[in-house]
A and B are shown apart, each in its own frame.
Chain A
Amino acid sequence: MSTGFFNELWISKMMIFRGIYMCVFVSFTAIVIGTILGMFVGLALTYGNMFTRFLARFYVDVIRGVPVLVLILTIYFVLPVIKINFTALQAGITSLAIFSSAQIAEMLRGGLQNIPKGQTEAAKAVGLGFFQTFVFVSLPQALRQVLPTWVNTAVETVKGSTLVSLIGVVELTLVMQQIIGRNFLTMQFYAMAGLIYFLICFSIERGGKYVEKKVAIK
């Protein structure tokens, strides 16, 4: 290799930036969709009747029993067969969203069920309805409780987003592989990838810790 690592890094900076953007975009969209979906499933798990509870439990257990990679490949390959034409990007986001929704549903259920019974009873005593109790009493407490796990899920989703490179989404991992394919600086660029992912995940973790401290009950 005649050219040095930093030279190669400089040449490929735009590709890397685009890769980072794609990685963040995929993870962020997946987390947002997954959180919304997971809220519904979590509610079904906690307050649903026997049938919805069973369905939600089945969904959560199956998704949590399958590796992210298998989930991604399954959705990418199976969707076209049942006549849903998603691009690789859409399929990747969908699978990561489904993955995170199961985690979020499970932790929300835990959070809601951990709330002391006295709280909901007190709410009932002051005349709040089910919906009001949920929004003003249960949810704020549950959210505070699940925040650390939620941040964890967000980090897991970012880490899972590396796997969508397998179905051809040009995010950071695939970008790095393309760069390595050109200059064969394998170790350096994978280390670079590791560093970038570390920075992304570490800042999510730190940000989560900060918010946790902000919203903690003193």
Chain B
Amino acid sequence: MDYYIDYSVVWRSLGTLFHALGIDLYMTLFSVALGSLIGLVVAFALVSERKIFRILSSTYVAVIRNVPLLIIVLFIYFGLPDAGFVFSEIPSFIFALTIYAGAYVAEVFRGGILAIPKGVGEAGMAIGMSNLQIIVFIKIPILIRSTMPALSSTYISLFKDASVAAIISVPELTFHIRKINLETFRTIEAWSTATVFYVVACFLIAFLLRRVERRVAIPK
């Protein structure tokens, strides 16, 4: 048996593949946006003076960071319907990835909050700002700008994690590639295409995020 390379199968489904990549991006974008909000709140809870906030938030972060995404996804997609929460594939995956993202983003932000010089908060207090005002108008802007590089690598790895959605048959890139592989046996073509798609997508996302990083970076 001789294997010959024939990309025509992949070529024909290129449109579908781009659409599938779009689903990946869409799910990632959704989860990253929601997850960042959760992460922001959780991060402030992590450094809060109230013990109960600290305990709750650090439990959340420790649990989610140490449980595989696949288990979270399976639990939400197959397990939660038993308790009466039925989601279709994409919303349930977005839900899972959001919870997952929240913990990772929280950890990034926590580091950022601790790195904010104390004087900044004190200056806010001195001009009569409330605690909430200090957080919203002073700390969060500094935080986002200073943690952007760490955030972007978290975002990229979340984009890669979106491939796990294939397992609960969300028609995203990995799912389609696997389908092409199983239907046509053009194994090498299918998986080399997946590799190129993901590498290029990650590269482009990294490129875009680096531009954002440079724009928001705090001048030295």
B163/A194 in contact, CB under 8 A: no
Let me know if B56 is at the binding interface, CB within 8 A: no
A159/B187 in contact, CB under 8 A: no
3 nearest CB pairs, A to B? A65-B199, A201-B66, A187-B79
Tell me the count of chain B residues lying within 8 A, CB to CB, of chain A.
40
Q: Which of A81, A173, A205 contacts B70 (CB 8 A)?
A: A173
Let me know if B57 is at the binding interface, CB within 8 A: no
- Bitwise, B63-79 to A at CB < 8 A (1) or not (0) is 10111111110110011
A65/B198 in contact, CB under 8 A: yes
Q: In whole angstroms, how far apart are the Cα atoms of A201 and B64 in the complex?
A: 11
Interface segment among B6-14, B41-49, B188-196: the answer is: B188-196
Q: Which of A62, A64, A70 contacts B163 (CB 8 A)?
A: A70
Let me know if A67 is at the binding interface, CB within 8 A: yes
Let me know if B58 is at the binding interface, CB within 8 A: no
Q: In whole angstroms, how far apart are the Cα atoms of A180 and B74 in the complex?
A: 11
B191/A73 in contact, CB under 8 A: yes
Q: Which of B66, B72, B78, B202 contacts A205 (CB 8 A)?
A: B66
Q: Which of B75, B161, B202 contacts A194 (CB 8 A)?
A: B75
- Bitwise, B15-39 to A at CB < 8 A (1) or not (0) is 0000000000000000000000000
27 residue pairs A–B, Cβ–Cβ below 8 Å: A65-B198, A66-B194, A66-B198, A67-B163, A67-B198, A69-B167, A69-B174, A70-B163, A73-B178, A77-B191, A82-B3, A155-B66, A159-B68, A159-B69, A162-B70, A163-B70, A163-B164, A180-B78, A186-B78, A186-B79, A186-B82, A187-B83, A190-B75, A190-B78, A191-B75, A198-B67, A201-B67
A61/B199 in contact, CB under 8 A: yes
Let me know if A193 is at the binding interface, CB within 8 A: yes
